[in-house]
Structure 1
Amino acid sequence: MATYTNRYRVDASFDETIEAVTDALGEEGFGVLADIDMQGAFQSKLDEEFDRYRILGACNPALAFDALDEEFELGALLPCNVVVYDDGDATGVSVVDPTEMLSVVDNDDLDPIVDEVAGRLERALEAVPDAEPVGE
């Protein structure tokens, strides 16, 4: 099981979950800079079938600015990815754990920013209606 993400199960349709996750991220100051449709990409590029799977590249501009001001190369690890996917009779949501992701960066000045990002992402996903953490 992945330890670099926090997972949720949402008792809602895929499209409803995308909308709810996007709205909840917005409430915590995150915009979605990228919306990557992996199902569509695999179909068009490889002629392969795949479950519905979207990667939302979420960014809080103020926190990203502060983080890049402390660690210029950090952009290679941004934005924070949130994955929404078909999970049988529900919709799965997996969000990167910023604490794990940024543990590769040896810069203690980032710690308060990482904590802020982690808290905001957690609050956002907990605000999604019918979302339940998985594996806790």
Structure 2
Amino acid sequence: MLGYRILGTCNTALAGEAMELDRAIGVAVPCNVVIREDPGGAVSVIEALNPESLVDLAGQEQLAQVVSRTSDGLQAAMHTLSESAGPV
């Protein structure tokens, strides 16, 4: 099997803010980043759910500010991972 890792990355403060706006959003909070080996084995692939999809899913425009901060942090973390990613 090819290398595959799931990293738990939940920012509990931001998740808490989102759940104060919509108590049901907890089931959809994107708290995982996947790092997996490409089938060719030459590169690692880093993936995560786009947090901005939560605004559409919940239909709560108030979530946009929380989601924006979440998205910024997640993108920065994924960038850091991509620069240092070695074998999975």
TM-score, length-scaled by structure 2: 0.80
Partner of 2:48: 95
Cα distance change of structure 1 residues 126 and 59 upon mapping to structure 2, 3 Å threshold:
same
Q: Which runs of 4+ in 1 moved over 6 A?
A: none
> In 1, distance between residues paired with 2:54 and 2:35?
19
Question: Do structure 1's residue 124 and structure 2's residue 77 form an aligned pair?
Answer: yes
> In 1, distance between residues paired with 2:52 and 2:30?
14
Cα distance change of structure 1 residues 110 and 117 upon mapping to structure 2, 3 Å threshold:
same
State the identity as a percent: 29
Question: Do structure 1's residue 110 and structure 2's residue 63 form an aligned pair?
Answer: yes
Q: Deviations over 1:63-90 (max 9, x none)?
A: 0111111100111112422111111112
Contact 1:57 1:79 in 2 (8 A): no
> Which runs of 5 or more residues in structure 2 are unaligned?
none
Partner of 1:66: 17
Partner of 2:4: 53
Contact 2:55 2:61 in 1 (8 A): no
Q: Deviations over 1:31-77 (max 9, x none)?
A: xxxxxxxxxxxxxxxxxxx3222222321111011111110011111
Q: Which is strand-richer, 1 or 2?
A: 1
> In 2, distance between residues paired with 1:104 and 1:129?
28
Coordinate RMSD, CA, aligned: 1.7
Which structure has more RCO (C-alpha within 8 Å, separation ≥ 6)? 1
Larger radius of gyration: 1
> Which runs of 5 or more residues in structure 1 are unaligned?
1-49, 132-136
